[in-house]
Chain A
Amino acid sequence: KQEVTQIPAALSVPEGENLVLNCSFTDSAIYNLQWFRQDPGKGLTSLLLIQSSQREQTSGRLNASLDKSSGRSTLYIAASQPGDSATYLCAVSGGAQKLVFGQGTRLTINP
């Protein structure tokens, strides 16, 4: 059974810092990996989707990498801003149209 872990559960950094969020998964037979952002009380916003054949994807200040063989993904946020404060979730798809989610990392950017 696929399990997804995100460490740390919470992270607080000063504005302007570059930071990395981590995601690991136990079964490397994934189809793709998706990173989401969730603001309190809201739905999930898709940030990046990485197919299993890709190593990384970039969108603006965000860069996500995937190392399928080691079961790891990272989300790099450059020049963090207070508006980046949110919970970040990663999820993997094993090909059955279903996503398995991590518990998320709650990120706080301090002005």
Chain B
Amino acid sequence: DVKVTQSSRYLVKRTGEKVFLECVQDMDHENMFWYRQDPGLGLRLIYFSYDVKMKEKGDIPEGYSVSREKKERFSLILESASTNQTSMYLCASSSLAGGPGEQFFGPGTRLTVL
């Protein structure tokens, strides 16, 4: 079974702090994604990566950056957390073979910025 893990289930940070969210997948997938999910807005793509050291902006990249130094690990960085970044953050991965594949999601990180 594909397993996508996220470093924390719940996180509370203060405004202005630098925040790191970590995601690890164990299926050797090329693609990895970061989404945020908010009531009434649904899931929105922040960033994705299709290879090590490669990144592409999604629909809402402002205020975020990402890092992919190893194939299995994709990090989301909030350089200076703000209250409007309070949200549920979801990581996903998929295989590149044969075109867009099935996406598998982690359990999510509920981030609260005070």
In the complex, per-residue mask of B83-113: 1 if CB is within 8 Å of any chain A CB, else 0? 0000010101010100111111111101000
Asked if B108 and A101 make an inter-chain contact with CB atoms under 8 angstroms apart, the answer reads: no
Q: Give the number of residues in A that approach B within 8 Å (Cβ atoms).
A: 23
Secondary structure class of chain B's binding surface, majority of residues = strand
* Residues in A neighbouring B92, C-beta threshold 8 A: 44
Q: Give the number of residues in B that approach A within 8 Å (Cβ atoms).
A: 25
* Residues in B neighbouring A42, C-beta threshold 8 A: 107-108
Among the listed A45, A89, A97, which residue makes an inter-chain contact with B50, where contact means beta carbons less than 8 Å apart?
A97
Asked if A103 and B99 make an inter-chain contact with CB atoms under 8 angstroms apart, the answer reads: no
Complex Cα distance, B108 from A101, in Å, reads 17
- Residues of A near any B CB (own CB < 8 A): 31-32, 34, 36, 41-46, 49, 89, 91, 93, 95-99, 101-104
| 11 pairs, CB–CB < 8 Å, chain A vs chain B | A36-B105, A43-B90, A43-B106, A95-B99, A95-B100, A97-B50, A97-B96, A97-B100, A98-B45, A98-B48, A101-B42
